[in-house]
Copies of this chain bind each other. A is one copy, B any other.
């Protein structure tokens, strides 16, 4: 269950007490238990995950990417996908499907079924009305849900959140916070169309000062936010290791580390200075008036793997992973920052239902 929140975590705890077989708790469910498939479901929703009116192709690519990130966290190879799409008749369905099928082909994922419908209407809209109040804006209302099935690599194991042990090193598969910075820039008016990012007035004029100029960093952040890259190869490598836990970072490093530790019955200590940051991230955060450490710890939608390995094992350099801390006994998370004493790290992060 990606992109969750305090209200949702409470609801999930309530649910787990009512479900016989606790399949919920990893990034995907293994079916039948011990069986050949890992199954997960994730949605992309207008006004929640992206600004209404986003290019249909970008929605499709993001939908595939966030789902495959869950499979990556299981060490799975993608196999089949099922789509439920609720969009207005004038939505560019063919552009959406072309991009969806291309993304599926890139990852050897077969689109095997689906369900198409009109978008929802609220109490103002009679059944059959499009969107809200019949206004044209309602035509941008879109809910796309993908269910994906993945298979285990031969000789591999399923990665789990519950595999962390004291002494394990904690690793991050890529930079943190950049996606959240991109989300802030989009809220400030940045847009993505025809493969290009346009920055809001005042930003577009800032000429990139070399590769790490703020405007260039901003464009990369928007791109990273909209089109994350699922770390499938890293997940499959981790699935070939004898020990370790993994989760994909959808709701923030702190919150997802908290979940991984809760499933493993351990605590952790991480060092703020070790969090991998994108080039130009500090300048970008200054320009946004945002706290870079907060974004890196709690921003969410990073879609990189957060994982643990025994201290003697290191992931190959080609994956660009960074060690950010250590698994400890106990149940609490500690953050060391700015040379000060370790302080307890709250599992704050994205919150839907709160």
Report the Cα distance A141→B132, complex, angstroms: 9
A178: chain B residues at CB < 8 Å are none
Beta-carbon contact of B94 and A120 below 8 Å: no
Among the 9-residue stretches A37-45, A257-265, A271-279, A325-333, the one with 4 or more Cβ atoms under 8 Å from chain B is A37-45
Beta-carbon contact of B101 and A19 below 8 Å: yes
Tell me if A's interface is mostly helix, strand, loop or mixed: mixed
A143: chain B residues at CB < 8 Å are 45, 86, 120, 143, 145
* Copies of the protein in its oligomer: 2
Contact check: which of B41, B93, B125, B353 meets A11 at CB < 8 Å? B93
Interface residues of A in 140-168 (CB under 8 A from B): 140-143, 145, 147, 149
Contacts A93-B11, A110-B21, A113-B41 given: A50-B101 contact, CB under 8 Å? no
Beta-carbon contact of B147 and A52 below 8 Å: no
A131: chain B residues at CB < 8 Å are 122, 132
Question: Could you tell me the distance in whole angstroms from the C-beta of A255 to the nearest C-beta in chain B?
Answer: 15
A120: chain B residues at CB < 8 Å are 45-48, 119-120, 141-143
Question: Could you tell me the distance in whole angstroms from the C-beta of A190 to the nearest C-beta in chain B?
Answer: 12
Beta-carbon contact of B117 and A47 below 8 Å: no
Contacts A41-B147, A131-B122, A139-B122 given: A1-B115 contact, CB under 8 Å? yes
A122: chain B residues at CB < 8 Å are 46-47, 52, 131-132, 135, 137-141
Contacts A84-B41, A122-B141 given: A89-B47 contact, CB under 8 Å? no
- Mark each residue of chain A from 1 to 26: 1 if its CB lies under 8 Å from any CB of chain B, else 0: 11110011001001100111101100
Report the Cα distance A4→B120, complex, angstroms: 16
Contacts A1-B113, A47-B129 given: A15-B118 contact, CB under 8 Å? no
* Chain B residue nearest in CB terms to A90: B353
A124: chain B residues at CB < 8 Å are 132, 135, 137
Contact check: which of B7, B53, B82, B84 meets A39 at CB < 8 Å? B82
* Chain B residue nearest in CB terms to A121: B47
* Chain B residue nearest in CB terms to A186: B127
A352 at the interface (CB under 8 A from B): yes
Beta-carbon contact of B129 and A41 below 8 Å: no
A89: chain B residues at CB < 8 Å are 7, 352-354
Beta-carbon contact of B147 and A45 below 8 Å: no
* Chain B residue nearest in CB terms to A18: B101
Question: Could you tell me the distance in whole angstroms from the C-beta of A204 to the nearest C-beta in chain B?
Answer: 21
Beta-carbon contact of B84 and A43 below 8 Å: yes
Give residues in A with beta carbon < 8 Å to B: 1-4, 7-8, 11, 14-15, 18-21, 23-24, 28-29, 31-32, 37, 39-43, 45-53, 79-80, 82-84, 86, 89, 93-94, 97-98, 101, 110-129, 131-133, 135-143, 145, 147, 149, 186-187, 352-354
Can you give 7 A-B contacts (C-beta < 8 A)? A21-B112, A45-B118, A48-B86, A52-B121, A89-B354, A131-B132, A132-B141
The 7 closest A-B pairs by CB, nearest first: A47-B121, A132-B132, A123-B137, A147-B147, A29-B112, A23-B112, A84-B145
Given contacts A29-B112, A41-B83, 13 further A-B contacts (CB under 8 A): A11-B97, A18-B101, A20-B110, A21-B112, A47-B129, A48-B120, A51-B126, A84-B147, A86-B143, A89-B352, A89-B353, A118-B353, A143-B145
